[in-house]
Structure 1
Amino acid sequence: MVNSGKKNHFARKDNRQVSRLPLKNLENPQVYTTITGELLKEQVVTNFDDALKNASGITPLWAATGRAGDGAAYYSLRGFPVQPTMVNGLPGLTNGSLDPANIDRIEIIRGPSGTLFGSSLISYGGLINTTTKRPYKTFGGEVNYTTGSYGLHRAVVDLNTPLNDTKTLNFRVNSAYNKQESFQDAGFKESFFIAPSLSYDVNDKLSFLVNTEFMSSEATNPTMLFLDRGTPLRVHNIKELNYDNKRSYTSNELTMKTPSYNIQAQMNYKFSDQWSSQTVFSTSSAKSQGNYTYLYEGTSNKLFASLKDGIVLGRQFTDQDNQNITTDIQQNFNGDFKIGNFRNRIVIGFDYFKRTASDRSSGYVANGLVYIGNDLQTFNNIVGKQTNGDSGDLTKAGSDVVMVGRLFFRPFLFYTLKKNVFIYFI
């Protein structure tokens, strides 16, 4: 039986962010998918990766690493890597994972979008934009607590209230605390997120909106394994590698902190029924502070020529201290008018983007060798002291000893990178 009166309560019929015009979905030629906050709430989504599973054509490449500059999760969109770098259509950087507590909807826009969004933070494959929740004119809110496997504990608060009798000044705050362990022998993530927002309707023509997001997060970074690209492969798949995915090759003492904030201020003015203006200022910051590691294959070293099976990987280790700050100023003029019998809609605007990256990271040093395979005895004879195929010291004290030389030279490794981009569009 087909019920034509049944509505999709998770659908949004129009979208302003995708084209920067108030177009209905059927009027917009751009290819995009919208994931609404109502759907995320229905599914009890607790992380951004799970939220994106609702969209087709986008697949995860790797999870958030926390590393400097590009520590957010990577996804594949039309064959190109892309990260969630846009918030309300403006730059919003993070080096960790996004918290879904303040998400009203997620838009995955496919294909080149540099004309309207600039090319500094997006990919040829498209972009991922998150639209945040906004204040409304009645008192309301909710409190949620979620618990689950691997030590998941999550508490979320959403509170909205008018601040005056005329309900022209409204305040909303979304906040979340999240803590979860890992299915592996080590690994955890703990974060606190708060997003206050304020709206003020001066009159029927002029309004202001301020959105802010602040997040502090500490986690172990997932260890990546890189095979040697300069020599023939010794293994060709996970089965041949004999990899135990329960092992993390890290410890809970080696963590990365990724504090971030995003502040946006918006002024909207309606000149007439045909023309309106939107002026936006935003600034964001993303930091990476702590220990980052990865494994790179070194089996081709003559030292390991006697190994009959498996591969040897060297652990590269660094103490990171990096910050990226962005500033963005955007002006949009929207028109909706007729020429003869034809309706015309247009957006005219410009965007100024500035990015400053400051880095005091230590550089990389070696911290032991990791053997994956069935010839552990030969590896033991070559390397000597090791634990379950790992000769590295994964304690905080041990890592500090490894980094002593690099930390001494850290003041001389400091650098700052600045980037300025100006675009205009019609």
Structure 2
Amino acid sequence: MNKIIIPCVLLSGLCYGQQETSDSIKSANIDQVEIIGTKSVITDKSESVGRIPLKNLENSQVYTGITSRLITQQKIYNLDDVVRNAPGISKGAEGWAGNVIYGGTEYTSRGFQTQIKALNGLANNIAVVGDIQNVSKIEVIKGPSATLFGSIITSYGGLINRVTKMPYEQQSLSVDMSAGGFNFGRVGVDLNLPVNKEKTLLSRTNIAYNNQGTFTDNGGYTQNIFVAPSFSYQLNDRIKIDLNTEFNAQKVSGMGSNVMFTLTPAVLKQYVAALLAGNGVPASYISSVTSKMPSTIQEGFGTNSVSDFNLDRKMSYYDKNLVSRSTTLNLNGNVEYKISDRWKSLTLYKIHAGQR
């Protein structure tokens, strides 16, 4: 019997791969074709999206689940780059470097803005860590989901749910190290360790240290340390207790946010007119003043091109002595009670805080 084994990678339910065959083996005399695929990098089911364990085809909600397997393959270290793998969503306003506070970076999904404000299916709109060291998968959920997640963390465009890694029974250790330009360096550690011999108490600790410089001339940098221990305790055959914690400390020097020029001549003209009118200035005088003001950038500066201003793109307008520090803490616990083989009760509790 002639048999061909085709290795492939599973992506969105499809198998992508190729196999060269010799002239002696043709499609006419092949008795069996065996396709061996690696595990999919896109999740095919979720308990958080529909609040019940449904497969993609069983769930009417449109979503994309990006697993840690794809994150590892692409060498991604922040949430912004992870979300880029989801179709139909684009990045909008920037968040703070290395950390996402109060939802942070904004994304546009189906024409509406949304943010990363869900953690393991719960609202987490105060402090969300931007590091992916303890991320198991990212679920980008399209469309309105307020009935399942609440209106605080979702919009008409949907929401983004961050699912963290959980302990398991095998002992394992994973270390990841990366280095790059502008003094970039990162070390990540993932340690899973059963605590007792019965393996009813499990622990998993994720630690990451990240240092990133800048291309500008001020010597700015971002330093970030992230520690995320998690525990799982099987109290008996029916009750299981999980505890997830995240602590993130960040130091940023000379890495300010983007400078945006929003005070255009037209905006200034409207502002001056409203200011004068609010102080009781006659309309005729206001019209006389505003008529002498430029209405376009061309009229005000004599050019429409930024390159004509001769700005040095490698010069920073922030001094490296301007240092900001922030710390965030997330604590999530849940108790799972197995009612029967088909039903279970889940009670969740969370504490999150941030300081800047």
TM-score by length of 2: 0.75
Contact persistence 2:77–2:132 (CA under 8 A): yes
Which residue is equivalent to 2:123?
A: 91
Which residue is equivalent to 2:272?
A: none
Match among 252, 262, 270 for residue 227 of structure 1: 262
**Deviations for 1:318-351, whole angstroms, at most 9, x for unmatched residues?**
xxxxxxxxxxxxxxxxxxxxxxxxxxxxxxxxxx
Contact persistence 1:65–1:96 (CA under 8 A): no
Which residue is equivalent to 2:320?
A: 252
Q: CA deviation at 1:240?
A: 6.3
Q: CA deviation at 1:267?
A: 0.4
User: Given the alignment of the two structures, is residue 178 of structure 1 paired with residue 207 of structure 2, yes or no?
Assistant: no
Which residue is equivalent to 1:62?
A: 93
The residue matched to 1:40 in structure 2 has which SS? helix
Cα distance in 2, alignment partners of residues 285 and 225 from structure 1: 29
Which residue is equivalent to 1:42?
A: 73
Which residue is equivalent to 2:173?
A: 141
**Deviations for 1:351-393, whole angstroms, at most 9, x for unmatched residues?**
xxxxxxxxxxxxxxxxxxxxxxxxxxxxxxxxxxxxxxxxxxx
Which residue is equivalent to 2:15?
A: none
What is the letter of the counterpart of residue 259 of structure 2? Answer: M
Q: After TM superposition, what 4+ stretches of structure 1 lie above 6 angstroms from structure 2?
A: 66-69
The residue matched to 2:205 in structure 1 has which SS? strand
Change (3 A) 1:270 1:64: same
Which residue is equivalent to 1:204?
A: 237
Change (3 A) 1:181 1:272: same
The residue matched to 1:6 in structure 2 has which SS? strand
Cα distance in 2, alignment partners of residues 224 and 19 from structure 1: 40
Match among 71, 80, 84 for residue 53 of structure 1: 84
Match among 334, 337, 348 for residue 269 of structure 1: 337
Change (3 A) 1:152 1:245: same
Cα distance in 2, alignment partners of residues 193 and 49 from structure 1: 17
**Deviations for 1:191-238, whole angstroms, at most 9, x for unmatched residues?**
100000000112221101000000011223323313215144416665
Is there any run of 5+ residues in structure 1 with no aligned partner, and where?
Answer: 289-426
Which residue is equivalent to 1:25?
A: 56
Quick check: which one's strand share is greater? 1
Q: CA deviation at 1:12?
A: 2.2
TM-score by length of 1: 0.63
**Deviations for 1:278-336, whole angstroms, at most 9, x for unmatched residues?**
00000101222xxxxxxxxxxxxxxxxxxxxxxxxxxxxxxxxxxxxxxxxxxxxxxxx
What is the letter of the counterpart of residue 107 of structure 2? Answer: Y
Q: CA deviation at 1:8?
A: 4.4
What is the letter of the counterpart of residue 195 of structure 1? Answer: A
Cα distance in 1, alignment partners of residues 51 and 311 from structure 2: 47
State the identity as a percent.
36
**Deviations for 1:151-194, whole angstroms, at most 9, x for unmatched residues?**
11101111011111111110110010001011223332111000
Contact persistence 2:104–2:115 (CA under 8 A): yes
Cα distance in 2, alignment partners of residues 253 and 56 from structure 1: 40
Q: CA deviation at 1:45?
A: 1.1
Cα distance in 2, alignment partners of residues 243 and 70 from structure 1: 33
Cα distance in 1, alignment partners of residues 311 and 335 from structure 2: 54
Map 1:13-412 → 2, pairs under 5 A: 13-65=44-96, 70=102, 72-93=104-125, 98-186=130-218, 187-219=220-252, 220-228=255-263, 230-231=267-268, 232-234=295-297, 238=306, 244-288=312-356
**Deviations for 1:48-80, whole angstroms, at most 9, x for unmatched residues?**
222222112221213223799747222222222
The residue matched to 2:139 in structure 1 has which SS? strand
Q: CA deviation at 1:247?
A: 3.0
Q: What is the root-mean-square deviation in Å for CA atoms of aligned residues? A: 2.4
